[in-house]
Amino acid sequence: MCGIIGFVGEEQAAPIILSSLENLEYRGYDSAGIATISDGKICLKKDVGHLEEVQQKHHLDELPGVLGIGHVRWATHGGVTANNAHPHLDCSGNIAVVHNGIIENYRELRSRLKSKHNFISQTDTEVIPHLLEDYLNDGASLEEGVIRVTKQLQGSYAFVAIYSREPGKIVAARQGNSLIVGLADGRKFIASDSLSFLKMTDQAIFVEDGEIVVATKDKVRFFNQDSLELEKSPGKIDWKWDEATKQGYDSFTLKEILEEPETARRALMQDKNLVMDMALGILRARQVVFIGCGTSRYAALLGRYVFSKFGGGFSPVIIASEYPYFSESIDSNTLVMAVSQSGETADILEAVRAAKRKSATIFSIVNRVDSSLARMSNKVLYLNCGPEIGVVATKSFVAQLIIFYLLGFAIGNKLDEGLDKLAAAPSWIAGNHRENGKGLIKLAWKLRKRKDFYYIARGTNFHIAGEAALKLKEIAYVHADGMPAGELKHGSLALIEKGTPVIAICPEDYTFHETLSNVEEAKARGAFVIGVSDRREDVFDKWIKIPKVEEIFYPLVSIVPLQLFAYHSAIARGLDPDKPRNLAKSVTVK
């Protein structure tokens, strides 16, 4: 999946497109490119590498013209090569296209087209400009061509096309992938995400599946696939553009971890009636099923525990990509709780569509107000944590936990009590940052050559072991296992040798003594033991101190130093924490 942008205005387009792409880079950063129209010709530059590298090498911002398209890529079809980078052209070089998504029937289309067309990439995308080429050569306008192309495509897409013979116009289409139009006087944007144009305008219109957009500098028109014009009006994007900048920090990841006290405060700002309403919906449902991917799934695992503790019953947590395989057991009495920072993860959207087909009710916990998931849900609680740009989820996880606690207290009809108790969460987290900052840097440097880490814990803390291990894998490229402490002796203990780091999350709660027994077992085999606890123990080679809190809240305070540890481990290993290799923040392909 990738980030796409189209711009048409009165001034030079390329510098604007370049700056928009900087805010889309979290979606993909293995290649980048821009195409503009000038003097009746397409001008194109693209290459592999981060946007900054491609810019330094090719001076993308010097492309001439007042209209253009840009792309940052996360490879799906075809390796990371300059030819596979977008924009893609037709044979004549008059049409350029950027695309996000997957054209599932591209092989059939390509074999049908290849006798007449010259394909130079291995991408699925390249069928689009070649299909367009045939329609435009037949005399269709760019928008007519795009409508005809959409009828040929299967799969998911958001794409933007330009045509050198209609040089004042950009045309886009959406099916399954996000697309938003930004409106300012004399300037129009069509992009994957409003963050890309927020600095220039907060007026936006969401494009829905099956819609086609035609933008000139003065006007935007919307059509359906039957060419009927649609009436749509703009709304205001609530975020401020500077929330999506580093604001002096070395990286977004560090900034976002250090923002967590504020994140907790903002996550607590919920409409109490809505929280109670959702709690009642949860209690009334015949079954509640959680779905999520990556970090959001770990938050859901904690949600399951919280719901069970407060009387919401036992609920399965299903990885979103596996969910459609369980669809037989979903019906109109099922409540699906979908958890997602972006609200655009393809696996989640697909699972929610499958659940909706079975008439299930959808509640979601989402950060992006403008997201597809939010718009597909019956009820939504927002994380309110502002833009999260670092590819690894950090502050959004903290916000997700807070919301699950609130829902848990609401299920137990104790929402006010929960709000009172959680009012202290920002200071727990801030204290934690202060207490552990320097020690974690030293620890990360000491362990920077280690290649295997084991995170162990029991009960609710087990999910933190999983999430903390995921953080280390994602940004420090280290093998890490997060496992129930009791399970270590059933296999993984064979891998522990002298100096192997074992991180035990063992606050002084109902899991404390049993987890410590497992720690002793690892220590006896030579493990280097790092204890994350409010109580120091001799068996710890290194103690990461967390505050003493009520049992149920330990996950909230344990994850914070472990996120920081992963961050410092990335730095100690010379890695860029904001752009881990092979990953992207918003995975909009299945």
Catalytic residues: 2, 585
Binding pattern to ligand G6P, positions 115-154, x when CB under 6 A? ----------------------------------------
Say whether residue 583 binds ligand G6P (CB under 6 A). Answer: yes
Q: Shortest gap between Cβ of 340 and ligand G6P (angstroms)?
A: 3
In DSSP terms, 67 is beta-bridged to 8
| Residue from 101, 54, 10 nearest 346 by CA | 101
Alpha carbon of 172 to those of 124, 157, 158, 380, 535: distances in Å?
17, 10, 7, 29, 58
**Radius of gyration of the chain measured on its C-alpha atoms:** 25
The stretch among 229-237, 291-299, 307-315, 501-509 that binds ligand G6P (CB under 6 A) is 291-299
Evaluate the omega torsion of the peptide bond into residue 167 and state whether it is cis, within 30 degrees of 0. no
Q: Shortest gap between Cβ of 222 and ligand G6P (angstroms)?
A: 27
| Residue from 577, 388, 526, 556 nearest 464 by CA | 556
548/431 Cα distance (integer angstroms): 11
3-state secondary structure of 215: strand
Say whether residue 267 binds ligand G6P (CB under 6 A). Answer: no
Among positions 348, 402, 447, 562, the unique one binding ligand G6P when judged by CB under 6 A:
348
381/17 Cα distance (integer angstroms): 33
Of 512-531, which residues contact ligand G6P (CB under 6 A)?
none
The stretch among 25-33, 184-192, 293-301, 434-442 that binds ligand G6P (CB under 6 A) is 293-301
| Cβ pair 365, 337 in contact under 8 A | yes
Residue nearest to ligand G6P (CB): 294
Say whether residue 156 binds ligand G6P (CB under 6 A). Answer: no
Nearer to ligand G6P, 177 or 295 (CB): 295
Nearer to ligand G6P, 89 or 355 (CB): 355
Q: Shortest gap between Cβ of 294 and ligand G6P (angstroms)?
A: 3
**Got the DSSP string for 299-333?**
HHHHHHHHHHHTTS----EEEGGGGGGGGGG--TT
Which pairs count as long-range contacts for 265-270, CB under 8 Å and 24+ apart, including other chains? Answer: 265/425, 265/426, 266/383, 266/384, 266/385, 266/386, 266/399, 267/383, 267/384, 267/385, 267/398, 267/399, 267/402, 267/403, 268/402, 268/406, 268/419, 268/422, 268/423, 268/425, 269/384, 270/381, 270/403, 270/406
Q: What share of the chain is helix, strand, coil (3-state, %, to 5)?
A: 40, 25, 35
Among positions 51, 293, 406, 468, the unique one binding ligand G6P when judged by CB under 6 A:
293
Nearer to ligand G6P, 288 or 589 (CB): 589
Structure token pair of residue 418: 């929960």
Nearer to ligand G6P, 404 or 540 (CB): 404
Q: Shortest gap between Cβ of 589 and ligand G6P (angstroms)?
A: 11
Nearer to ligand G6P, 254 or 392 (CB): 392
Nearer to ligand G6P, 335 or 391 (CB): 391
In DSSP terms, 171 is beta-bridged to 161, 214
Nearer to ligand G6P, 121 or 251 (CB): 251
Among positions 20, 164, 251, 296, the unique one binding ligand G6P when judged by CB under 6 A:
296
Among positions 94, 253, 345, 563, the unique one binding ligand G6P when judged by CB under 6 A:
345
Look-up: residue for tokens 């893609």? 88
Say whether residue 342 binds ligand G6P (CB under 6 A). Answer: yes
200/240 Cα distance (integer angstroms): 11
Q: Shortest gap between Cβ of 250 and ligand G6P (angstroms)?
A: 20
25/266 Cα distance (integer angstroms): 26
The stretch among 78-86, 289-297, 481-489, 510-518 that binds ligand G6P (CB under 6 A) is 289-297
| Cβ pair 557, 432 in contact under 8 A | yes
| Cβ pair 263, 428 in contact under 8 A | no
Of 393-432, which residues contact ligand G6P (CB under 6 A)?
393
Say whether residue 46 binds ligand G6P (CB under 6 A). Answer: no
Say whether residue 391 binds ligand G6P (CB under 6 A). Answer: yes
Among positions 149, 153, 275, 392, the unique one binding ligand G6P when judged by CB under 6 A:
392
3-state secondary structure of 155: strand
136/126 Cα distance (integer angstroms): 16
Say whether residue 389 binds ligand G6P (CB under 6 A). Answer: no
The stretch among 65-73, 259-267, 287-295, 426-434 that binds ligand G6P (CB under 6 A) is 287-295
Look-up: residue for tokens 């409003």? 194
Adjacency order of strands within the sheet including 95-103? 88-89, 95-103, 155-163, 170-175, 212-215, 220-223, 229-230
Q: Shortest gap between Cβ of 309 and ligand G6P (angstroms)?
A: 24
Q: Shortest gap between Cβ of 383 and ligand G6P (angstroms)?
A: 10
Among positions 587, 588, 589, 590, the unique one binding ligand G6P when judged by CB under 6 A:
587
| Cβ pair 206, 370 in contact under 8 A | yes
Among positions 36, 150, 263, 295, the unique one binding ligand G6P when judged by CB under 6 A:
295
The stretch among 162-170, 278-286, 386-394, 560-568 that binds ligand G6P (CB under 6 A) is 386-394
Structure token pair of residue 34: 């821009």
Among positions 94, 340, 384, 533, the unique one binding ligand G6P when judged by CB under 6 A:
340
| Residue from 289, 363, 372, 301 nearest 326 by CA | 289
Exposed/middle/buried for residue 12 (C-beta within 10 Å: 0-12, 13-18, 19+): middle
Q: Shortest gap between Cβ of 193 and ligand G6P (angstroms)?
A: 12
The stretch among 130-138, 307-315, 426-434, 578-586 that binds ligand G6P (CB under 6 A) is 578-586
Q: Shortest gap between Cβ of 395 and ligand G6P (angstroms)?
A: 12
Say whether residue 217 binds ligand G6P (CB under 6 A). Answer: no
Nearer to ligand G6P, 177 or 586 (CB): 586
Say whether residue 341 binds ligand G6P (CB under 6 A). Answer: yes
Among positions 3, 101, 294, 547, the unique one binding ligand G6P when judged by CB under 6 A:
294
Adjacency order of strands within the sheet including 3-8? 41-48, 31-38, 67-73, 3-8, 187-191, 180-184, 203-206, 235-236
The stretch among 115-123, 176-184, 225-233, 582-590 that binds ligand G6P (CB under 6 A) is 582-590
Residues forming the site for ligand G6P (CB under 6 A): 293-296, 340-342, 345, 348, 391-393, 583, 585-587
